[in-house]
Amino acid sequence: MRRVRIGLLGCGTVGGGFVRLLDRERGRIRARFGVDLEIGRILVRDIGKERPGVDRDLLTTCALDVIDSDCELVVEVVGGVHTAGTFVRRAIARGRHVVTANKALLAANGSELFDAAAQSGVEIGFEASVCGGVPVIGALRRGLAGDSIESIAGILNGTSNYVLCRMAEGLGLADAVLRAQEAGFAEADPSLDIDGEDAAQKLAILAQLAFDEPVRRTSVIGIQSVTPEEIERARAEGCVVRQVAEASRVAGGVSLVVEPRRVPLAHPLARVVDEQNAVVIRGRAVGEVVLSGRGAGSMPTAAAVLSDVLWSAAA
């Protein structure tokens, strides 16, 4: 039985979910994969905060206690760009495999970090950075690696989709956002979701994987201007309104667009409701591939993190 020690940076919604999921699945993982995954240290901001199911003896407020410990693999779920980037760079320099759910970091510095990882001979797993538990990263990196991708279109932000679904029931934008906050899908400041920037960051990551060409055009329009009246007009035309993120080939490169669109009811994206995510990938050889599922929440994202941990442990 091979033992793999993990250093965990962050123990919030996703980090706490990862700890609980690993505890629940440890026996199955040992039996199926022959690997015993063990968390060595956990970075937190407030060491006195109650965290059910988390061993307090593992907690520290010093990132170096985690990164410079005897761990083989570092899981980064603190979020943000600058501090998280510093942590990830140090982990790579120390020869640690890295698993991250940080879409903002990868959208901003992905190329640099992947180059550094290659030079150090380590892997970066990032399935959880896009669409939570929907394995779109794995599909592009492995399952569809033999095909040329023509386009990717999807609902990449569960919060905005939840808001639009509530607006379809008659709520205004502000009340729909409040409902999303009460349900735990929207942050206190939901601007990244509503403005389309969250979806744009995820789309940029998918485009880096799918296309070997430069981005020639980027357009991001949020859902602030969508009204219940517009949704009702779309319904009368046999459509629903969805925030669609699309990457497609254009002359000399790739176009990235995030915008609210009227989607015909027969289209796969029209059937995506509430906090669900979905991605439609069109390949030259395979045609249309549709992936959908829970794109937000503690446990779906934690499951994607754990999947990458297993892949990295086997590297």
What is the dotted CATH code of the domain comprising 2-132+298-313?
Answer: 3.40.50.720
Does the annotation count 103 as an active-site position? no
- Encode pLDDT of 199-244 as tens digits: 999 999 999 999 988 999 999 999 999 999 999 999 999 999 999 9
Instruction: Check whether 132 has a pLDDT greater than 80.
Output: yes
Whole-number Å distance between alpha carbons of 219 and 247: 11
Domain 137-294 bears CATH identifier 3.40.640.10: no
* Both tokens assigned to 295: 């794109």
- Encode pLDDT of 140-183 as tens digits: 999 999 999 999 999 999 999 999 999 999 999 999 999 999 98
Mean of the pLDDT values across residues 1-7?
Answer: 93
More confident residue, 1 or 180: 180
Whole-number Å distance between alpha carbons of 262 and 245: 13
Instruction: Check whether 315 has a pLDDT greater than 70.
Output: no
Distances (CA, A) of 44 to 15, 59, 105, 106, 119: 10, 7, 19, 22, 30
pLDDT of residue 297: 75
Whole-number Å distance between alpha carbons of 232 and 230: 5
pLDDT of residue 292: 95
- Encode pLDDT of 74-109 as tens digits: 999 999 999 999 999 999 999 999 999 999 999 999
DSSP label at residue 56 = G
pLDDT band at 250 (very low <50, low <70, confident <90, very high): very high
Q: Which of 103, 202, 242, 261 is catalytic?
A: 202
pLDDT of residue 268: 96
More confident residue, 314 or 201: 201
* Both tokens assigned to 235: 């319904």
CA 100, 105, 107, 108 torsion-angle sign: negative
Q: What is the mean pLDDT of the chain?
A: 94
Q: Where are the domains of the chain?
A: 2-132+298-313, 137-294
CA 148 from chain centre, in angstroms, equals 23
pLDDT of residue 184: 81
Mean of the pLDDT values across residues 55-64?
Answer: 96
* Both tokens assigned to 271: 């059937």
pLDDT band at 185 (very low <50, low <70, confident <90, very high): confident
Instruction: Check whether 314 has a pLDDT greater than 80.
Output: no
* Tokens 């609980």 sit on residue: 20
Q: Which percentage of the chain shows pLDDT scores above 70? A: 100
Phi, then psi, of 19 in degrees rounded to 5: -60, -45
